[in-house]
C-alpha cells in the first residue's frame, strides 16, 4: 500500500517477501483458502468472477494502490473471486497469519484495510454499471486509463482477447473499437501491445466511471493521511 503509518510498516517489514508476478499466474481462486496477501509494486492483477460455463468478467483491477486478498484475510480466508496477474511485475507477499497479526496489533492498519475493501466494492459496483450501460468504446477507454495508472504510462502487454474478457464483450467488438482509436491517433496497437498516444483524447472518450472510481479512492483512503501518517511504500 502507498499509505501506511510508520508503526504499521515496521510491523509488516519483517514478514514481507518480494515475489515475481508472472503473467496469468493465479494469486487467488474463488472458493479456496488463500495463503498470502499481496502488495503489488507495479503491474496489475485482474479480479474476476465467472460462470460454470467458463464465461468471466472483470470486476476490478488492482495494482500499486491496492492490496490483493486483504478482505478474505480479514474474514475466513476464503477467496470470493479469482485473482490473476494481468501485467507482470513484482509484489510483496505476506502470509495470512502475519497479516492478521499486524491487523490485530494496529488499529490504523485495520482502518486502512477496511477502507481499501470499501474502495474495492465501489470499483466493482462501478464496473458493473459501466459494463451494463455504456458503449464499448467508453468502456475500453475507461479500462485503458486505469491500466495506464497502474503501469506508470508504459506500453501495456494486452491482447484483444484479454481486453474482450476484461470488459465482457466479443473480440470483434474490441477489434473494431481499437482500430477506430488507432486511426484517430489515440492509441497504437501492435502484436498484443498497446501504447496510449493521446491521453486527453482517451479521457474524453471514457465515460464518467473512471473519474468516479478515483473519487471513491480519494474519499475513502486519502482521509487516512494526516500529520501522523508517513508516506511509506512497500519496498520493491
pLDDT per residue as tens digits for the range 95-130: 999 999 999 999 989 999 999 999 999 999 999 899
Buried residues in 142-171 as b, exposed as e (16+ CB within 10 A)? bbbbbbbbbbeebebbbebebbbbbbbbee
Helix residue ranges, H only, 78-106? 96-105
Interval 57-86 mean pLDDT = 93
**pLDDT tens-digit map of 153-205:** 678 888 888 899 888 899 999 999 999 999 999 999 988 899 999 999 999 99
Q: What pLDDT does residue 2 have?
A: 55
DSSP letter string, 25-54 = -EEE-TTSB--EEEEESSSEEEEEEE-TTS
Per-residue pLDDT for 33 more than 50?
yes
Q: Which three cell numbers stand for residue 180?
A: 477506430
Residue-range domains of the chain with CATH: 6-131 (2.60.120.10), 135-206 (1.10.10.10)
Q: How confident is the model at residue 56 (pLDDT cuts 50, 70, 90)?
A: confident
- Provide mean pLDDT across the span 22-28: 93
Amino acid at each position: 500500500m502507498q499509505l501506511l503509518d510508520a508503526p504499521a510498516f515496521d510491523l509488516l517489514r519483517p514478514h514481507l517477501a518480494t515475489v515475481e508476478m508472472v503473467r496469468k499466474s493465479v494469486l487467488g481462486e474463488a472458493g479456496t483458502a488463500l495463503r498470502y496477501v499481496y502488495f503489488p509494486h507495479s503491474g496489475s492483477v485482474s479480479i474476476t468472477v465467472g460462470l460454470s460455463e467458463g464465461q468471466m468478467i472483470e470486476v476490478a483491477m488492482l495494482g500499486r494502490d491496492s492490496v490483493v486478498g486483504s478482505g478474505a484475510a480479514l474474514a475466513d480466508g476464503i477467496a470470493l473471486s479469482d485473482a490473476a496477474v494481468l501485467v507482470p511485475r513484482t509484489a510483496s507477499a505476506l502470509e495470512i497469519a502475519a497479516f492478521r497479526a499486524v491487523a490485530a496489533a494496529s488499529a490504523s492498519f485495520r482502518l486502512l484495510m477496511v477502507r481499501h475493501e470499501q474502495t474495492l466494492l465501489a470499483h466493482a459496483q462501478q464496473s458493473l454499471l459501466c459494463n451494463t450501460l455504456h458503449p464499448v468504446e467508453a468502456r475500453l477507454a475507461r479500462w485503458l486509463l486505469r491500466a495506464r495508472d497502474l503501469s506508470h504510462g508504459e506500453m501495456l502487454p494486452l491482447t484483444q482477447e484479454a481486453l474482450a474478457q476484461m470488459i465482457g464483450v466479443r473480440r470483434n467488438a474490441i477489434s473494431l473499437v481499437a482500430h477506430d482509436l488507432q486511426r484517430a491517433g489515440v492509441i497504437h496497437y501492435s502484436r498484443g501491445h498497446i501504447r496510449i498516444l493521446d491521453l486527453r483524447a482517451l479521457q474524453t472518450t471514457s465515460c464518467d466511471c473512471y473519474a468516479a472510481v478515483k473519487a471513491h479512492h480519494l474519499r475513502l483512503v486519502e482521509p487516512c493521511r494526516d500529520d501522523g501518517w508517513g508516506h511509506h511504500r512497500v519496498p520493491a
